[in-house]
Amino acid sequence: MKLTRLRLHGFKSFVDQSDFLIEPGLTGIVGPNGCGKSNLVEGLRWVMGESSHKTLRAAEMDDVIFAGSKERPARNVAEVGLTLDNSAHEAPQPWTAEETLEVARRVERGKGSSYRINGREVRARDVQILFADASTGARSPSLVRQGQVGEIINAKPEARRRVLEEAAGIAGLHVRRHEAELRLRSAEQNLLRVEDVVGRLT
Ligand code: ATP
């Protein structure tokens, strides 16, 4: 799946809606210091489900919302949308048949954030699985931060294995295994409760 467009509205310094078309080939973002190049990459991580405000250089998650400037008042809502070309129909169900997908994340001050795919509300985990299957995501090594190459060289073997697993396209399986384990644990708890009830009745 190719990323084709990034839309930022009220996210960090992008107070007005800004659309970035990601054309085939290499895309470069250039501009003077402080113009918002890193904010743009952080918008990409955020829409892919980044849950750590520190990774986004924010004291808390609401700080990703435009905080105001001399000329413009602060906003209360930020939204980032990422369009994906799904013409190869590689997205998992229920989106396999769609030609394009727009994943959107919206945060309202004091009210937390929500996700939509093609307008339909989804869980953060659905977004994580979608991007993990596409061998990318908020924590993907394909989004290289300053200093990250050095970190990978000095990383522990498990951390390096995660990079290789993602390159091999199996990162999505880990997310699914974790979800299956959670469901299994909850079913085990339910069974214990049923056994308690049956024990009390007999
Ligand atoms: P450099 O080339 O120095 O790394 P850059 O182009 O990557 O700079 P960013 O770090 O993306 O620039 O942008 C920094 C700017 O974003 C600062 O001017 C900062 O005030 C502004 N900014 C960050 N968060 C917010 C926010 N929540 N509201 C308004 N402006 C913000």
Is 76 a domain residue?
yes
| pLDDT given at position 92 | 86
CA of 3 to the centre of ligand 1 (A): 23
pLDDT in tens, 114-167: 999 999 999 998 998 888 777 666 666 667 777 777 888 888 999 888 878 877
What does the DSSP assignment read for the chain? -EEEEEEEESBTTB-S-EEEE--SS------STTSSHHHHHHHHHHHTT---TGGGT-SSGGGGB----SSS---SEEEEEEEEE-TT--SPTTSTT-SEEEEEEEEETTTEEEEEETTEEE-HHHHHHHHHHTT--TT-TTSPPTTHHHHHHT--HHHHHHHHHHHTT-HHHHHHHHHHHHHHHHHHHHHHHHHHHHHHH-
Is 80 a domain residue?
yes
Nearest ligand 1 atom to the CA of 66 is 28
Of the residues 38, 65, 72, which should be mutated to test ligand 1's pocket, given the most ligand atoms within 8 Å of the CB?
38
Is 199 a domain residue?
no
Q: Which residue's CA is minimally distant from atom 30 of ligand 1?
A: 13
Is 74 a domain residue?
yes
Is 9 a domain residue?
yes
Of the residues 6, 16, 20, 39, which should be mutated to test ligand 1's pocket, given the most ligand atoms within 8 Å of the CB?
39
Q: Which residue's CA is minimally distant from atom 23 of ligand 1?
A: 12
Nearest ligand 1 atom to the CA of 40 is 11
Q: Which residue's CA is minimally distant from atom 26 of ligand 1?
A: 12
Is 200 a domain residue?
no
Look up the CATH number of the domain holding residue 110: 3.40.50.300
Q: At what angle do helices 157-167 and 171-201 cross, to 10 degrees?
A: 110
Is 202 a domain residue?
no
Tokens of 14: 């992008």
| pLDDT given at position 114 | 96
The whole domain housing 77 covers 2-193
Q: Which residue's CA is minimally distant from atom 20 of ligand 1?
A: 13
The answer to whether the Cα torsion of 45, 47, 51, 56 is positive or negative is: positive
Q: Above 0.90 for ipTM, yes or no?
A: yes
Is 136 a domain residue?
yes
Q: Which residue's CA is minimally distant from atom 13 of ligand 1?
A: 36
For the chain, what is the domain count? 1
Residue, of 172 and 118, whose pLDDT is higher: 118
CA of 127 to the centre of ligand 1 (A): 26
| pLDDT given at position 109 | 94
| pLDDT given at position 100 | 96
2, 85 in Cβ contact below 8 A? yes
Query: CA 169 to CA 1: how far, in whole Å?
Result: 12
Q: Which residues surround ligand 1 with Cβ inside 6 Å? A: 12-13, 31, 33-39, 63, 65-67
Q: Which residue's CA is minimally distant from atom 21 of ligand 1?
A: 13
| pLDDT given at position 135 | 62
CA angle 85, 89, 93 (to 5 degrees): 110
pLDDT in tens, 27-54: 888 999 999 999 999 999 999 998 888 8
Annotated binding residues for ATP, written as ranges, equal 32-39
